[in-house]
Amino acid sequence: MADFDLPLLDFDLFHNGTPEERLQLGEALVESFIKHGFVRLRNHGITDEMVQNIWKWEKKFFAMTEEQKLKIYHAPGPDPQRGWSKKGLETTSKLRKENYVGVDKSKTTLLDEKEHFDCGPKEETQFPNLFPDEDLPGFREFVYEYFEAAQNVCLDIMRACEVGFHMETGTLVEKCIPAASELRMLYYPEVAVETLKKGLIKRAWPHTDFGIITLLFQDGLGGLECEDRRKPFSFAPVPVNPGENVMVVNTSDTFTRWTNKVVTGGLHQVNTPPGLQNQQDGSIPERYSSVFFFKAHRGASVGPIKHFVTEENPAHFPDITALDFHREMTKILY
Ligand SMILES: O=C(O)CCC(=O)C(=O)O
Ligand SMILES: [Fe+2]
């Protein structure tokens, strides 16, 4: 099979291009979402400085002692995740049980080798955020600054999708205000090749995310893989683009529902990084990544939007609220 090639688009055209360029950008974005469930963007609106600060704060956060992190421990449950989740808590393999051929899931759980920090919007009152204010002053302020920037980029991507789908302006954006997104910082500890070879642990098992779209930055090590849809459930590495500020965007389950399967969520996993896959012993280095799960506002319906319901493509999903859908999905993870 020819090399897998994930489109890399210049998002600046959406803001500063001619009307034709704006339309072309919107259409190319939608085309990549339909074809791959993924796209890569340059000039996306998150500055180089902010990306460097993400890495700086992630390193500081995960370097805290277990005792410090336990002060903001996330208690598993169906509600949106807040604070620190330790290794082994969230299990992505539970989301796609049907895809694990040859694994007896009644005898074993396929675990994720990762820990993470999650938080919601600054204005959050329903599901309060948890911050290590005493142990890590300045962290909360940075996280909120990045949250706001990422939320704005996502709203712009929704505007570009409205253009690309030839939809009425505001149809997607109005379902995303007020913000209910989740920012996640991820740490994958160094792991022995021997452990990975047993096949029961992966950095993240194949899954789709629950929101509308997910923004992702990965460090220079890599390991994120997206489905190569020419052969279902086969995966190709998402390149790391050293020295260039590239954002990865994948479509998620809410988008599948809104678009009535015109777009389907991008299936992905975190695997042994490219270049290390033939390593027979020793260990795979630690890895950091940053994920922003862009969500619909909690009361918005995640049922199909009229624009995507036709005689040939009748509604595939019921009208339930974004919060009910989120709870349904999070429950599966634990
Ligand atoms: O770390 C990554 O590259 C991906 C993480 C991910 O897929 C998730 O947290 O949903
Ligand atoms: Fe994911």
Average per-residue pLDDT in the chain? 93
The confidence score (pLDDT) of residue 100 equals 61
- The per-residue pLDDT for range 72-131, each reduced to its tens digit, is 998 888 889 999 998 877 777 777 655 665 555 555 577 888 999 999 999 999 999 999
Pocket test for ligand 1, best of 216, 246, 295 (most atoms within 8 A of CB): 216
Ligand 1 mean position to 184 CA, how many Å? Answer: 9
**DSSP code string of 284-331:** EPPEEEEEEEE---TTSB-SPPGGG--SSS---S---BHHHHHHHHHH
Helix (H) or strand (E) holding 141: helix 139-164
The number of the ligand 1 atom at minimal distance from the alpha carbon of 218 is 3
Residue with tokens 């990965």: 218
- The per-residue pLDDT for range 57-80, each reduced to its tens digit, is 999 999 999 999 999 998 888 889
Q: Is 235 a residue whose pLDDT tops 60?
A: yes
Pocket test for ligand 1, best of 246, 291, 332 (most atoms within 8 A of CB): 291
Q: Which residues surround ligand 2, an ion (CB under 5 A)?
A: 209
Distance in angstroms (rounded) separating the CA atoms of residues 24 and 17: 10
Nearest-5° angle of CA 75, CA 79, CA 84? 40
Distance in angstroms (rounded) separating the CA atoms of residues 94 and 240: 27
State the helix-helix crossing angle for 19-36 and 139-164, rounded to 10 degrees: 100
Distance in angstroms (rounded) separating the CA atoms of residues 139 and 12: 29
Q: Is 287 in the pocket of ligand 1 (CB under 6 A)?
A: no
- The per-residue pLDDT for range 169-214, each reduced to its tens digit, is 999 999 999 999 999 999 999 999 998 888 888 899 899 999 999 9
Distance in angstroms (rounded) separating the CA atoms of residues 240 and 225: 11
Read off the pLDDT band of 20 (50, 70, 90): very high
Q: Is 253 in the pocket of ligand 1 (CB under 6 A)?
A: no
pTM: 0.95
Q: Is 25 in the pocket of ligand 1 (CB under 6 A)?
A: no
Dihedral sign of CA atoms 36, 184, 245, 222 in order? negative
Percent of the chain with pLDDT over 90: 80
Label residue 318 exposed, middle or buried (CB < 10 Å: 0-12, 13-18, 19+).
exposed
- The per-residue pLDDT for range 256-274, each reduced to its tens digit, is 999 999 999 999 999 999 9
What's the complex ipTM? 0.99
User: Is the CB of residue 168 less than 8 Å from the CB of residue 108?
Assistant: no
Structure tokens at 111: 């675990």
Distance in angstroms (rounded) separating the CA atoms of residues 38 and 224: 12
Read off the pLDDT band of 332 (50, 70, 90): confident
Least Cα distance to 329 among 286, 296, 291, 287 occurs for 296
In one-letter notation, the amino acid at residue 140 is R
Alpha helix segments (H runs only) across 10-138: 12-16, 19-36, 48-62, 66-70
φ, ψ for residue 105 (rounded to 5)? Answer: -70, -10
